[in-house]
Each structure stands twice: as structure tokens, then as C-alpha cells.
Amino acid sequence: MTVLNSKIPAGPLAEKWSKHKAAIKVVSPANKRKLDIIVVGTGLAGGSAAASLAEMGYNVKAFCYQDSGRRAHSIAAQGGINAAKNYQNDNDSIYRLFYDTIKGGDYRAREANVYRLAEVSGDIIDQCVAQGVPFAREYGGTLSNRSFGGVLVSRTFYARGQTGQQLLLGCYASMNRMIGQGKIEMHERNEMLDIVTVDGKARGIITRNLVTGEVERHGAHAVVIASGGYGNVFFLSTNAMGCNGGAAWQAYKNGAFFGNPCFVQIHPTCIPVHGEQQSKLTLMSESLRNDGRVWVPKKKEDAIKLQEGKMGPNDIADEDRDFYLERRYPSYGNLVPRDVASRAAKERCDAGFGVNAEGKAVYLDFKYSIERLGQDVIEARYGNLFQMYEKITDVDPYNEPMQIYPAIHYSMGGTWVDYNLMTTVPGLYAIGEANFSDHGGNRLGASALMQGLADGYFVLPYTIGDYLADEIQTPRIDVNHPEFDKKEKAVNERLQKLFNVKGNKSVDSFHKRLGNIMWDYVGMARNEEGLKFAIAEIAKIKEDFYNDVRIPGDFDAMNIELEKAGRVADFLELGDLMARDALNRNESCGGHYREESVTEEGEAKRDDENFTYVSAWEYKGENQEPVLHKEELVFEEVKLTQRSYK
Amino acid sequence: MADKIIKNLTIKVWRQKNAKTAGKFETYKINDISGGTSFLEMLDILNEQLINDGQEPIAFDHDCREGICGMCSLFINGRAHGPDDDITTCQLHMRKFKEGETITIEPWRAGAFPVIKDLIVDRTAFEKVLQAGGYISVNTGGVPDGNAIPISQDDAEEAMDAAACIGCGACVATCKNSSAMLFVSAKVSHLAKLPQGRVEASRRAKNMVAKMDELGFGNCTNTGACEVECPKGISIANIARLNREFLAAKIKD
């Protein structure tokens, strides 16, 4: 018998959300004024939640580690945001968006959550337009759309290649209005390091002021984690340098179960790794696959010449090019979902057809669309991306194909939440990328922005009322409560322990070691032996870290190495849990590819009989084995089939 | 393509313990940097070197490292975001430098942006200006359909040109008066170009300008330096638009 209760409402799928909204409790305006909510993270999920909750009348305290809320990494999302508007009259619908998302996620997401996501998607676009988001428009003044991977309709709204930036500036503007009105108390350069629970309920957080080094206490009636994903466990990823799993990890250590930690997304179109000195990877938007064709040489000897720099891509005739996505997946072609495209690139490179010196790159070629549409059209669509590519690589993609390779991009896994987005700790919520709920084993392009804003604008503001309605008698949380004393002390001890190691090696050196192990054994292809090896190696790195890390500077002042050390300490534990989860899930599914579970054609093979569940891990204490709980996934609407994009 | 290796670089960098103590330049040597290494990766390597030598690494702001979050700053060899056009410091690559070169790195310098530590400055004055009016007053929910108000492609594109500002502060840092006019005018223009934003255009322009003046940013004397160093190519035509909006608002008073 599981301890998990997903609280999915009964009734037909299309009516669940409206019935649920009608049934849950509402807090009166007079009482909202007496209630405080903490929001950790100011990306699309946190920013939209903070703004909406403040507009409703709650007192919000928002936190971010950056120097401004508008710098959260949602800002880097390029391609677009999905919504089932059917503006293009291509027979799109809420059901079709729901179905594409469930199928794209390889049937490992909750039907009810995904349907709700599709249901509110249209409202998000309306909201963003009202805020002044300058979406692309047609000549007649209506909104423009483009297509994305894994779907057969055009439902992606975009603002050039900067959609995430514009959506984030939209919700940040709404936040600013509320900050100006005193309804949001904004804490920049302030990182959450622990959660305070009183009588089992989340009642506040402990943070470190990154400017002064001071450890601070903040109380509230509810705490919302919106701190994004944990892709940086791999060291190299498309995440921002500061992105971390800290808030979610502290939630886990305080009793919130962690859902599907092994589900991370590997994005197929990133600029390949360059040398040993690289600090991060840059994404080239999936939208490029609308007009770019992916290929490697057909002949091994051509590949070798390319690797040795003895020949260029334009020296290879069309008939000697292997457009392997079009060959293997004729119906979706270059627009197969990310997990499929990434594995196909790896397969070709592993077979020796990679095109750069390291043999770890494939081409994304715009020659054909430039011939078809003209360079000016391509420039209007992707100009900023082409410029970015040229600045980084010194190669002009109008004349020579881009080199791309898969890289870690997004975490589908995250803090386990119920239908109300509440974790297993009462009063503690997780939204956006930080939770596990909507993308299953693989996220479709342009759906992260949709989910972040759905949670923040239209889901959490309602569901949190159901909990807070029973808290209206609770006075303002007293941060002098002994639980706050205890947690503040624990945070100080944790940081002191790291600071006092006074070893010989930098924080980054450990992070890189961890990243290498994660990429090699818990990355694009995983197997039992490798995962067991990874678990043992991570334990060794952790031991070395606590014996030999060097953190220069002062403890009680700005100290960037200390900040990084705290994050790496969390990543070392998170990496271990990811490997354990990957070991347990002996099936291939979405971004999780177990070499033991493959079809004859080399495609990922799900095992629905044994693994149609969400794995939710429970923390049992330092150096204790975590306990696995299973939330069975029940599909009432969709029939599970082997995913095919052929 | 193999990148060239740049040898024997001298890095002259501003070190300052905190806002209360005086800062000074320190000089470091760094060798064998690949041309394909980004400028910030070069600083990472230098910091690794400093840590291994038992010294405190250089503090600098950065986050996305793909030119969009606006967190990175740095005045490099006398130019905001360094010696390349239309990019942020994180997109600057070492192939822009020569063997044996001395590279001077300073923080943004402006009265409204006090130094926090080394190369990190406090830019929250920008946020305060935005809080004074950089928004459309609309609550979540109850808004019309996205296609209810047609917006011409030209207006949407012009709004987008202005909205592309990443709020990094290069314009203020490069301006001899430390004026924030380019930043403020970009936000005002973005919203003024859209029908949704017209409703409160006067109030927005007045409030944002008043806040900007209050926070100690200097006046604009039309030197155009901001436009030159803006990594996102924000045009000073926006400043003209802000002046127009501001004047129109004042006339109404």
C-alpha cells in the first residue's frame, strides 16, 4: 500500500479540473491579507506565481540567487511556448496537445495533470499578450505560430529566438508592479539553504544573504519551491552557471519525496563541447530543425577526413550525405522529439560518423532552406541564433552547416507533487521545472515555458487556497520559534564544515569529476554495470570532496566558492539518487535509455507491465538507503502504445 | 577547426574587498589559452590558478553564459563587454586577443552602481526604476483573447527591438554621465509601441524618469556612446521616443 496520494479528482478527464476548482476551498480577501507565502525562484513558474498570488492579496516574499529576478534561467529559452489555440486551423485542440504531451513523455506522466496543462495553455497566451509580450505577428496583426518537434500542428507562439526572455520580462513586470505596491518583498542575491517545518508543516526557510554572508530566517504560512532543474549535476549543461538543485534537495531532506530523478532531457541541438576548458554548453533552438536538415557523411572515409580537418562539409555531395533522421523517421523527419533525435546523433557518432575532431558532432544544414526560401527569410527567422553561433564558433552558418551535439538541458524529474502541486510536506509546494509532474520521461519542445506559466498563473494560485483556507487562524509565523533556531544552526554547521576542510582542490575540480561520471554512466545510455560503478564512484568523489575541498576567502562575507561548494555538496547526493533511480528503472523510456531494454530496430523499449509508475524516493537520513515509493500511473483515456515517429 | 593558442597574457584586474574598502589593480599572468575559450572561461582558469596558489579568486557576475540573462558585466580594455560588437562579455572569445597582450578588467563604474566586491556591482537601481512603472497594469486572468487586438507586424517588431534589452547596465557604464536613458527608454518604448501599453503611457514615462533622476543616474547629453556598446543593439531612437512621451505627459499636466 503506497503512502502517496496523488489526489487526482474523479470523473471524466475533461471535467476534472473544473470540478476540482469548484470543490476546493477559497480564502476571503480579508484573510488573504493576513497570510504570507514564500516563493523560492523567480523564473517563469516562480515569477508568475509570485505576481499572481500578490495580486490576489497574499503577502509574498520572493527569493533569487541572481542580482535580479529577471535573470532567472527561463530567460534563455529560445524557441517558443505551446498553446492549443488552433489559430492556424490545423485541427489542433486541447485533446491533441494533451495527447502529444502524454505520448511525447513516453506515457510516464499523469493524464490529469497533462490535460489541465493543455486546458489552461490558451489562457497563458492571452495573459502574456495583455502584459505586452511582443509575440511575432502576421501582416494582418494576428499572432504567428511555428512548429516544434514531436507534433504535426503549428501551435508554438514565439518572440524571435527570445521567447523565454520576453515571457519572463512579462511576469517580472507584473512582479515589479506588486513590489512597487508593497505586496511582494523581493530578496535578490539570497539563496535558500533549508526549510523550516513546525508540527509537520512548512513554515519558513533559512537563506544565506550572498552579499553579506549572513544566514537569515524567513517565515510564511506556505512555501513554494520554484527553483528550476538540476541539470548542472552534469557540470556541463545548457543551464546557467548558478542553476542548482539546492532548494529541491533541501525539500527532499525535509520529507518531500523526489520524483523520477533519472528523467533528464538531453537536447539534440547544442554547440559541441570544445576542449577541456569549457564551462557550459550553448543550446541552438529546436526551432532550427524546422528549416535545418541533420546529416552526417554516408561514407566512413569522408567522416575521417572531416575529423582530421582535411575536408569541409561543402565538399560532400548531396548523394553522399546521410540525412539519418529523414531516413529513419520519414513521417516526422528532422522534427522527431528530442530524446529520439539525441539518440540518433549518438548512434551515428558512436558508429564513427561524427564530423568534428572529437568525432562528436553532426551537421545541421540550412543550405536547402536558403535555396528554397532565400537567405533573408532564414535571417529573419533565426538571425540572432546564427549570430550567436558565429560568435562562439567563428563559423558562418549561412555558408557552412552548424555542428551540433546533444547536451543536458532539462530535468523532467523533480520534487513529487500531488494534483494540487503540494509535496509530501503539508504547506510545501513545487512548481515549474522543480516538480516532476507533467512531462513524463521526455519533454516536448516549447512545453517548459507553458508548464512554468500554467503552474504559476493558473494552477497554484487556486490550489494553494485549499490549504491556506485552514490556516487563516494561524498568526504570522514567529521566526524565533525553536525550529528556526535549530535549522539556522544546522545551516551554519553545514557551511562551516565545508569551509573548514581547508584542503587542496577547488570546488570546480570536484564538480567536473562528478559531471564526467554522470555523463559517461548516467547520461544518454545507461546500463546496470555502469550505474553501479557510478554509485561507487560518486561516493568516492563525495568522500574526497569533504576531505580535500579548498574554499578561500571569508566565511561571513560574499564568498562565491562557498556558494558553489554548497551546491556541489547537494549535486553529489542528487547524482547518487539519479543513478539509483536509473538502476531501478530497468526499461527504456523517454530520455532514460537502458541498454538492456531496446527493440530490434534500436529504439527505446518501454516495459509497461513493470514500470508504469512514478518513482518517488523518500530520504531516510545521512548515508542511509533512500526508500522507493511507487505511484501507479492509471491511463483512463490514452491507450499505451510503443511510441513511433516513423 | 583547431583554435590558436594564445600565450603569455597579462591580466590587470580591479580587486576590492567590499563596498567599504578601497580597491586597486592587481596583475596576474596566464598562459596557453585556446582561442575558442570564452573570456569568462579564461577568468575561471585564472581563478583555478589563484585557488591552487592559496589566493582568493576574482569575484565577477555571470550566469547564463549565452548572452541573454544580462548578469555579466566587465569593462575590458576600456570597453563595456570588451573588444567585440553586439555581444555580452560571456560571448566574447579569446581569439579576439593577441599573444603577449595585457588585458585590463574593471567593474562597471557609475554612482548608481556601487561596487560590492571586485568586479561585482549593485545594479538594483535598475529594478527600482522598473518598479516605478515598467509594466502594464493587468492582473492575472480576465484578459481578452490574444488575437482580439490586432497589432501590426511593424509595431510588434519595433516593440520587440526595444524589449530585447537585457538590463546589463553597459549603457550606464559607458556613458560619461552615467545616464540610464537607454535602459529606461527601451522599456518605455517597448510598452508605448503596443496598444495594451498606451493606456498608461504618460504615467509610466513620468514615474520612471522621476525615479531614474532620484536614484542618481546622470543626464543624457546625446553622445550616443550607449548605443555603440549595447550588446543588443538597442537604438538611441528610443531615447527620442521617451523624450516625446515625457514631454507629452508634462503638457497634459
Domain B5-116 has CATH 3.10.20.30: yes
A450-506 tens-digit pLDDT: 999 999 999 999 999 999 999 999 999 999 999 999 999 999 999 999 999 999 999
Residue with cell 537567405: A375
- CATH code: domain of residue A512: 1.20.58.100
Residue A391 and residue B48: Cβ atoms within 8 Å?
no
Q: From the CA of B48, how many Å to the nearest CA of chain A?
A: 7
Nearest CB partner across the interface for B150, out of A75, A128, A140: A140
Q: Which residues of A are less than 8 Å from B39 in CB distance?
A: none
Q: What is the dihedral of CA A303, A304, A310, A313, to 10 degrees?
A: 10
Residue A279 and residue B61: Cβ atoms within 8 Å?
no
Which of B21, B68, B152, B204 to mutate to probe the A interface, most A CBs <10 Å?
B68
Q: Decide the pairing of beta strands B9-15 and B102-106.
A: parallel
Helix, strand, coil proportions of chain A in percent (round to 5)?
A: 45, 15, 40
The mean of the pLDDT values for chain A is 96
Domain range for A526 is: 482-614
Q: Which three cell numbers stand for residue B82?
A: 570588451
pLDDT score at B1: 47
Answer whether residue A93 is part of any domain. no
Answer whether residue A356 is part of any domain. yes
- What top-level class would CATH report for the domain B123-137+150-252? mainly alpha
pLDDT score at A1: 43
Query: Is residue A313 predicted with pLDDT exceeding 70?
Result: yes
Domain ranges of chain B: 5-116, 123-137+150-252
- CATH code: domain of residue A342: 3.90.700.10
Residue with cell 548531396: A318
pLDDT score at A646: 86
Residue B41 and residue A506: Cβ atoms within 8 Å?
no
pLDDT score at A226: 98
**Among all residues of chain A, which has the CA nearest to that of B135?**
A173
A11-66 tens-digit pLDDT: 999 999 999 999 999 999 999 999 999 999 999 999 999 999 999 999 999 999 99
Q: What is the dihedral of CA B242, B244, B249, B252, to 10 degrees?
A: 180
Q: From the CA of A117, how many Å to the nearest CA of chain B?
A: 16
Residue A395 and residue B57: Cβ atoms within 8 Å?
no
Question: Which of A409, A432, A453 is the C-terminal boundary of a domain?
Answer: A409
Residue B63 and residue A240: Cβ atoms within 8 Å?
yes
Residue A198: CB atoms within 10 Å: 17
Q: Assign residue A219 a region: left if phi > 0, alpha if psi is -120 to 50, beta otherwise?
A: beta
Q: Which three cell numbers stand for residue A10?
A: 474523479
**Same domain, yes or no: A402 and A288:** yes
Residue A394 and residue B147: Cβ atoms within 8 Å?
no
Residue A134 and residue B190: Cβ atoms within 8 Å?
yes
**DSSP H helices in A13-110:** 16-23, 29-32, 44-56, 94-104
**Among all residues of chain B, which has the CA nearest to that of A403?**
B1
Which of B18, B52, B55, B66 to mutate to probe the A interface, most A CBs <10 Å?
B66
- The model's confidence at residue A79, banded by pLDDT at 50, 70 and 90, is confident
Q: Which residues of B are less than 8 Å from A187 in CB distance?
A: none
Q: Which residues of B are less than 8 Å from A394 in CB distance?
A: 1, 35-36, 93, 95
Q: Which residues of B are less than 8 Å from A132 in CB distance?
A: 136, 159, 190-191, 194, 196-197
**Same domain, yes or no: A495 and A377:** no
Q: Which residues of B are less than 8 Å from A282 in CB distance?
A: 65-66
Average pLDDT over residues A524-533: 97
Question: Which of A409, A437, A453 is the C-terminal boundary of a domain?
Answer: A409
Nearest CB partner across the interface for B139, out of A55, A240, A504: A55
pLDDT score at A581: 98
Answer whether residue A306 is part of any domain. yes
Q: What is each CA distance from A175 to A79, A135, A397, B137, in whole angstroms?
A: 24, 20, 39, 11
Residue A279 and residue B51: Cβ atoms within 8 Å?
no
**Same domain, yes or no: A605 and A497:** yes
Q: What is each CA distance from A471 to A25, A58, A146, in whole angstroms?
A: 12, 13, 45
Q: Decide the pairing of beta strands A59-63 and A36-40.
A: parallel
**Among all residues of chain B, which has the CA nearest to that of A559?**
B59
Q: Which residues of B are less than 8 Å from A48 in CB distance?
A: 140
Nearest CB partner across the interface for B69, out of A71, A180, A509: A71
Q: How wide is the angle at C-alpha B141 spanned by C-alphas B140 and B144, nearest 5°?
A: 120
Nearest CB partner across the interface for A279, out of B65, B134, B197: B65
Query: Is residue A427 predicted with pLDDT exceeding 50?
Result: yes
**Same domain, yes or no: A401 and A318:** yes
Residue B149 and residue A134: Cβ atoms within 8 Å?
no
Distance of alpha carbon B26 from the chain centroid: 25
Q: Which residues of B are less than 8 Å from A156 in CB distance?
A: none
Model ipTM value: 0.98
Average pLDDT over residues A432-450: 96
User: Measured between alpha carbons, how far is A295 from A277 in angstroms, rounded to an integer?
Assistant: 28
Q: From the CA of A322, how many Å to the nearest CA of chain B?
A: 22
Residues of chain B with pLDDT under 70: 1-2
B142-165 tens-digit pLDDT: 999 999 999 999 999 999 999 999
Q: What is each CA distance from B153 to A78, A134, A159, A282, in whole angstroms?
A: 20, 10, 12, 30
Query: Is residue A512 predicted with pLDDT exceeding 50?
Result: yes
Of A630, A562, A593, nearest in space to A208 by CA? A562
Q: From the CA of B169, how many Å to the nearest CA of chain A?
A: 12
Handedness of CA A478, A481, A487, A491 (dihedral sign): positive
**Same domain, yes or no: A383 and A502:** no
Answer whether residue A141 is part of any domain. no
Q: Which residues of B are less than 8 Å from A55 in CB distance?
A: 139-140
pLDDT score at A147: 87
Q: From the CA of B46, how many Å to the nearest CA of chain A?
A: 11
Residue A277 and residue B34: Cβ atoms within 8 Å?
yes
Residue A558 and residue B84: Cβ atoms within 8 Å?
no
**Among all residues of chain B, which has the CA nearest to that of A279?**
B41
pLDDT score at B3: 77
Q: From the CA of A314, how many Å to the nearest CA of chain B?
A: 15
- Domains identified in chain A, total number: 2
Nearest CB partner across the interface for A560, out of B57, B150, B153: B57
Question: Which of A409, A433, A464 is the C-terminal boundary of a domain?
Answer: A409
Residue A126 and residue B34: Cβ atoms within 8 Å?
no
Q: From the CA of B147, how many Å to the nearest CA of chain A?
A: 6
pTM value is: 0.97
- The model's confidence at residue A2, banded by pLDDT at 50, 70 and 90, is low
Residues pairing with A628 in the sheet: A617
Q: Decide the pairing of beta strands A59-63 and A184-187.
A: parallel
pLDDT score at A645: 84
CB-based contacts of B146: which residues, under 8 Å, 6+ apart? A85, A125, A126, A128, A129, A135, A143, A157
